[in-house]
């Protein structure tokens, strides 16, 4: 608790998740939404569900702020932290059309269009390179309407599929960063809902097949975890259910006898909402807190790697 008392409090209505072990803080993250009540636990395993249910949408993205001169590229990880920035600078002359008629003016206007187009081609090429390198979940385009729409069209088809245009923000001085960040949060939340819809559909389809790639209920999920066969853990509210877990990754069973059958003699009883997500993560599975989209037996289900 000392680490919490001695540090800056969360901003606004956000919350905070802290995990400590061995006398030091090992995880300290801002939560997008504050839990209804403060929760404190002392356990051999960390209680990670609040990080998934109240955390920010974990979607890394590339933010591209563009105008006809070039663009600023900012790569952010799933926590919204900047991990890389760069500026693509194109030619700066001629960039502005002038009024008038005659051949000279028409030629000048054509030169302006050519310069702008070349600059956007350069930006599109660099965006495609960054996407190939870091594979963000989304590309967010910000800036002048004409510039961002033209850039969108110049991107490779695969990049266009993950690109969204935003209304707020620009490269101009005085552009509202607060409005931009709010729109980014809205877009990410919408994408998160799409992911939940897709997972729910996959889960229902898997349950509907005799050889399906989905299971529900604590016993079935624990069995799949012990076999390292969980691709995505879906968890709602397992209540106070308990399982048995060993000290090593993958050592999990519904009861002591099940753990002993694996040759594990030093197992201990653990809360399911701690041991199950932890075991899923260390096995390389992803964890999703699922809402009422699907009916999870005992508040837990899973998409499997193989049938």
Same domain, 158 and 210: no
Same domain, 171 and 201: no
* Distance from C-alpha of 141 to C-alpha of 148, rounded to nearest angstrom: 6
- Tell me whether residue 54 is in a domain: no
Query: Which of these, 248, 249, 254, 283, lies nearest to 270 by C-alpha position?
Result: 254
pLDDT number for residue 174: 67
pLDDT number for residue 4: 58
Same domain, 203 and 300: yes
- Token pair 């991990």 is found at 83
pLDDT number for residue 96: 45
**By mean pLDDT, which of 2-6, 7-11, 150-154 is the weakest?**
7-11
DSSP, res 8: P
pLDDT number for residue 220: 96
- Token pair 């960054």 is found at 130
Inform me whether the pLDDT recorded for 87 exceeds 70: yes
Question: Which are the contacts of 43, defined by CB distance < 8 A and separation ≥ 6?
Answer: 270, 271, 274
* Distance from C-alpha of 48 to C-alpha of 277, rounded to nearest angstrom: 7
Same domain, 29 and 65: no
Render pLDDT for 44-58 as a digit per residue (tens, 0 to 9): 888 888 888 766 667
Same domain, 113 and 201: no
- Tell me whether residue 107 is in a domain: yes
Same domain, 80 and 140: yes
* Distance from C-alpha of 259 to C-alpha of 268, rounded to nearest angstrom: 9
The alpha carbons of the chain give a radius of gyration, in whole angstroms, of 25
Q: How many distinct structural domains can be found in the chain?
A: 3
- Tell me whether residue 123 is in a domain: yes
Render pLDDT for 241-281 as a digit per residue (tens, 0 to 9): 999 998 887 889 999 988 888 888 888 999 999 999 999 99
Question: Which structural domain, as residue segments, surrounds residue 23?
Answer: 2-40
Rounded average pLDDT over 161-189:
86
Same domain, 35 and 76: no
Same domain, 74 and 168: yes
Rounded average pLDDT over 139-161:
95
- Tell me whether residue 271 is in a domain: yes
- Tell me whether residue 183 is in a domain: no
- Tell me whether residue 45 is in a domain: no
Rounded average pLDDT over 91-116:
55
pLDDT number for residue 295: 92
Token pair of 45 as six digits = 């395993």
- Tell me whether residue 188 is in a domain: no
pLDDT confidence of 161, banded at 50, 70, 90? very high
- Tell me whether residue 55 is in a domain: no
On the question of a cis peptide bond just before residue 94, with omega within 30 degrees of 0, the verdict is yes
The domain that holds 230 is classified in CATH as 3.30.1330.30
Same domain, 262 and 234: yes
> Residues of 27-60 as b/e, b for ≥16 C-beta within 10 angstroms?
eebebbeeeeeeeeeeeebbbbbbbbbbbbbbbb
Same domain, 166 and 106: yes
> What is the share, in percent, of the chain residues with pLDDT greater than 70?
85
Same domain, 211 and 157: no
The domain that holds 103 is classified in CATH as 3.30.420.60
Render pLDDT for 34-43 as a digit per residue (tens, 0 to 9): 677 788 888 8
Same domain, 34 and 65: no
Rounded average pLDDT over 97-124:
66
């Amino acid at each position: 608790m000392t680490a919490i008392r001695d540090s800056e409090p969360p901003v606004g209505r956000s919350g905070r998740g802290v995990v400590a072990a061995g006398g030091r803080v090992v995880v300290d993250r801002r939560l997008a939404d504050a839990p209804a009540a403060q929760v404190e636990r002392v356990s051999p395993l960390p209680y990670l569900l609040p990080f998934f249910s109240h955390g920010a949408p974990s979607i890394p993205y590339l933010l591209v702020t563009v105008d006809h001169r070039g663009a600023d590229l900012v790569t952010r990880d799933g926590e919204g932290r900047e991990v890389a920035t760069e500026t693509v600078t194109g030619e700066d002359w001629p960039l502005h059309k002038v009024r008038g008629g005659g051949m000279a003016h028409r030629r000048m206007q054509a030169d302006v269009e050519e310069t702008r187009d070349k600059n956007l081609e350069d930006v599109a090429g660099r965006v495609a390179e960054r996407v190939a390198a870091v594979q963000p979940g989304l590309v967010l385009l910000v800036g002048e309407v004409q510039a961002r729409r033209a850039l969108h069209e110049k991107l490779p088809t695969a990049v266009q599929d993950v690109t969204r245009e935003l209304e707020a923000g620009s490269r101009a001085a005085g552009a509202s960063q607060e409005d931009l960040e709010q729109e980014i949060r809205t877009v990410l939340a919408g994408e998160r809902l799409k992911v939940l819809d897709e997972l729910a559909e996959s889960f229902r389809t898997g349950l509907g097949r005799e050889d399906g790639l989905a299971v529900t209920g604590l016993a079935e999920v624990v069995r799949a975890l012990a076999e390292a066969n969980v691709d995505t853990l879906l968890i709602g509210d397992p209540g106070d259910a308990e399982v048995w877990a060993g000290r090593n990754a993958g050592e999990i069973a519904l009861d002591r006898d099940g753990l002993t059958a694996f040759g594990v003699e030093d197992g201990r009883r653990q809360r399911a909402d701690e041991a199950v997500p932890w075991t899923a993560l260390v096995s390389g599975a992803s964890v999703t807190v699922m809402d009422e989209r699907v009916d999870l037996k005992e508040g837990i289900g899973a998409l499997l790697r193989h049938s």
